[in-house]
Amino acid sequence: MWAKFKRSVFINLAPRIIYFFIWIIFLTCKKSFSKTNLTNEPCVVLFWHGRLALMSFAYVHWWKNGQNPQRRAKVIISDHKDGEIIARVISFFGIGAIRGSSSKGAVK
């Protein structure tokens, strides 16, 4: 019972803490957004894991508040418990999640 409570608190508190630190990093970094010519056509955006933390700000800049505010984003995230934390963090940016695994429950 106690372990379940601790896990629940962690799963609910960790995303908020991570979101706060991502904002601190973003605010303290030198950044520049290059000019882009986005179309209204659906697209797939690919990036390396090392860019994961700040890609949410690119979405907010170019799609949500930028050239095409109606465009929606979804991110493919592992079905693992760590993926749940990431899914919750990106939801603060208005980004949805598609949860799945290549080895467990991929069909769902």
- Please report whether residue 34 resides in a domain: no
Residue 73 lies in a domain: yes
Is 13 within the bounds of a domain?
A: yes
pLDDT in tens, the chain (108 residues): 777 888 888 888 999 999 999 999 999 988 887 777 766 677 777 777 777 778 888 888 777 665 555 677 888 888 887 888 989 999 998 888 888 877 766 555
Question: For residue 42, what pLDDT is reported?
Answer: 75
Q: How confident is the model at residue 19, as a pLDDT? A: 93
**Residue at 38 is within a domain:** no
Region label for 11, one of left (φ > 0), alpha (ψ between -120 and 50) or beta (otherwise):
alpha
> Please, are residues 36 and 62 in contact by the beta-carbon 8 Å criterion?
yes
Map residue 99 onto helix, strand or coil. strand
Q: Give the pLDDT of residue 27.
A: 93
Q: Is the residue at 32 inside a domain?
A: no
Q: Is residue 63 part of a domain?
A: yes
Closest C-alpha among 88, 15, 22, 13 to residue 52? 22
Which domain covers residue 6, as residue numbers?
Answer: 2-27+46-100
**pTM over the 0.85 mark:** no
Q: How many structural domains does the chain have?
A: 1
Q: What is the distance between the alpha carbons of residues 63 and 66, in angstroms, rounded to a whole number?
A: 5
